[in-house]
Amino acid sequence: MNLIVAVDKNWGIGKDGGLLTHLPQDLKFFKEKTVGKVVVMGRSTLESLPNGNPLPNRTNIVLTHREDFEKEGVTVVHSMEALMELCNQYPSEDVMIIGGASVYNELMEICDALYITKMYHEFEADTFIKNVDALPQFKVVWESEVVEENGISYQWFEYRRVKLKA
Ligand SMILES: NC(=O)c1ccc[n+]([C@@H]2O[C@H](COP(=O)([O-])OP(=O)(O)OC[C@H]3O[C@@H](n4cnc5c(N)ncnc54)[C@H](OP(=O)(O)O)[C@@H]3O)[C@@H](O)[C@H]2O)c1
C-alpha cells in the first residue's frame, strides 16, 4: 500500500474542503502514479472532486461511516477492517491512499512508499498530516529537481519504509 499527497511547509494539505493550490504538473504526476490503480479516499475527499465523481480509469474505494452512502463507480467501505480485507485482493503496490488527512494519518504508518510533493510555501491550511520527516521508519529514496508553477516552488519526494535497528 502506497500514499500520495501534496503538503506545504507545515504539512498542511487542505483548506475549506479543497486543495491549497492548483499545480498542473503535480496533477500530472498524481495521474501517472494512480491511473490503472486502486485509489482509497475518505468521503470528504470524494466530495471535493469535480461534481463529487470518482476518478476515471481507477478503482475508487471510499471510506465512510454512513451506511446509506452510495455513489456510482465507487466501492464503499465502512471500517478499516473492511478496507484491509478489500485491499488484500489487490497487489499491495497497486493500492494508493489519496487522502484526506484522516485517511492519510490512519494509514501512513503501514504504507511501503510515500510520494510526497513538498511545496515550499506556507498556506492558510486547516487540514494537516503528520510530519513524515519525524517518522524514523521512512527514508527519502528519490527526489526530483525543484520546479516552479504559479509562483510556488516545489519538489517531489519518494519515501520508503526502512527496517529499523532493534
Ligand atoms: N494535498 C493533498 O494531496 C490532498 C489530497 C486529498 C485531500 N486533500 C484535502 O484534505 C481535506 C479532506 O481531508 P479530511 O481529513 O477532512 O477528510 P477525508 O479524510 O477525505 O474524509 C474524512 C471522512 O472519511 C471517512 N472515514 C475516515 N476514516 C474512516 C474509518 N476508519 N471508517 C469509516 N469512515 C472513515 C469519514 O466519513 P463520514 O463522515 O462519511 O463517516 C470521515 O468523515 C480537503 O481539504 C482535501 O482537499 C488534500
Per-residue pLDDT tens for 56-82? 999 999 999 999 999 999 999 999 999
Place of cell 484526506: 100
For residue 45, what is its C-alpha cell?
A: 475527499
**Share of residues in the chain with pLDDT > 70 (%):** 99
pTM of the model: 0.97
Atom of ligand 1 nearest to the CA of 18: 47
Closest ligand 1 atom, residue 20 Cα: 1
How many angstroms separate the alpha carbon of residue 92 from the centre of ligand 1?
Answer: 21
Same domain, 97 and 136: no
For residues 120 and 59, membership in a common domain is answered with no
User: Any bridge partners for residue 51, and if so which?
Assistant: none
Predicted pLDDT of residue 57: 98
- What pLDDT is stored for residue 139 in this prediction? 97
Question: CB within 6 Å of ligand 1 — which residues?
Answer: 5-6, 13-14, 17-19, 41-45, 48, 63-66, 78-80, 98-103, 106, 127
Residues 126 and 150 in one domain: yes
To 5 degrees, how large is the angle CA 73–CA 26–CA 9? 115
Query: How many domains does the chain fold into?
Result: 2
Please give the number of the atom of ligand 1 that sits closest to the Cα of 80.
Answer: 31
166 CA → ligand 1 middle, Å: 34
Give the closest residue to 90 by CA, choosing from 75, 102, 105, 78.
75
Half-sphere exposure of 143 (CA within 13 A, CB side): 8
Both 45 and 91 in one domain: the answer is yes
Scan for cell 498542473, then name that residue: 24
**Each residue's pLDDT tens digit, 126-137:** 999 999 999 999
Amino acid identity of residue 27, one-letter, is L
Determine the distance separating the centroid of ligand 1 and the alpha carbon of 48, expressed in angstroms.
10
- Going from the Cα of 103 to the center of ligand 1, the distance in angstroms, rounded, reads 6
Cell numbers placing 8: 506545504
Q: What CATH number is attached to the domain comprising 65?
A: 3.40.430.10
For 57, residues 6+ apart whose C-beta sits below 8 A from its C-beta are 35, 36
pLDDT tens per residue, range 98-133: 999 999 999 999 999 999 999 999 999 999 999 999
- Asked whether residue 80 falls in the same domain as residue 100, the answer is yes
Q: 80 CB contacts (<8 Å, ≥6 apart)? A: 63, 106, 107
Pair (119, 150) in one structural domain:
yes
Atom of ligand 1 nearest to the CA of 126: 45
CA nearest ligand 1 atom 25, residue: 64
